[in-house]
Amino acid sequence: MGQEIDLLSALPKTKRNITAREDAKDPEVVRESKKYGELYFDGPRDYGYGGYRYDGRWVPVAHDIIAHFGLKAGDRVLDVGCAKGFLVKDLLEALPGLEVFGLDISEYALMRCPPEIVGRLHLGSADHLPFPDGSFDCVISLDTVHNLPRPRAIAALREIQRLSGGRAFVRVDSYRTPEQKAIFESWVLTAEFHDYPAGWVELFDEAGYTGDYYWTIIE
Ligand SMILES: C[S@@+](CC[C@H](N)C(=O)[O-])C[C@H]1O[C@@H](n2cnc3c(N)ncnc32)[C@H](O)[C@@H]1O
């Protein structure tokens, strides 16, 4: 079984105004966010990122991922739910010779990737990864699997396992206390499935997922 480990500890924490989001979260906003288009990435904050531009925030995370998995030049890495591909770019630059690719459901995001990674990103869904068994040395998926309803989240984890053999890392929405759960529910826009860590670990078992994992918790 994989280990619970925070590979994103080097990422700056996002400051959120929880009350503001609760007021703004109407069904129309949720519907628009789930299209993963311009509003979600580059529209007002109520719809998602509030503008997602390259700022180098993933550089230290890229180094931590490379160190954790002992990746070397020539290894193949896939980022499932890569959005605009910023981590793909930073992994490539952190270890020259690493073969890094991404996949996302958002054509809008993929069309806005940095020029260095054009041709490395695929349009698709996490629960149908169009690659042969064992075709990657490492698969990561950050804040993406929870955007699928439970049966499809299981399918996505099976896919990640199939490609990586369990040399993988996923981070998903979770909470450790009822208070954190209430805060999460006042914020959630796109997540279709979320649970306490124990519920996620059960789901990982059901999927046969043996990679590493951690939680996105709003505090
Ligand atoms: C919160 S963002 C995370 C993006 C990036 N991994 C990061 O951490 O910045 C969620 C991403 O999941 C993508 N997404 C949503 N549903 C998906 C699916 N079924 N398959 C692949 N990607 C999906 C969205 O387009 C978006 O890029």
For ligand 1, whether the C-beta of 148 sits within 6 Å is yes
Is any atom of ligand 1 closer than 6 Å to the C-beta of 109? Answer: yes
Report yes or no: 27 and 34 within 8 Å, Cβ to Cβ: no
Closest atom of ligand 1 to CA, residue 148: 19
Residues 50-92: tens digit of each pLDDT: 999 999 999 999 999 999 999 999 999 999 999 999 999 999 9
What pLDDT band is residue 150 in, cutting at 50, 70 and 90? very high
Mean pLDDT of 3-26: 77
188-211 confidence digits (pLDDT tens): 999 999 999 999 999 999 999 999
User: What pLDDT does 24 receive?
Assistant: 59
Q: Measured at the alpha carbon of residue 9, what is the angle toward residues 216 and 16, in degrees to the nearest 5? A: 50
Going from the Cα of 195 to the center of ligand 1, the distance in angstroms, rounded, reads 18
Per-chain mean pLDDT for the chain: 95
Of the candidates 214, 216, 218, the one whose C-alpha atom is nearest the C-alpha of residue 3 is 214
Q: Return the percentage of the chain with pLDDT > 90, whole number.
A: 89
Sign of CA dihedral 114, 124, 200, 185: positive
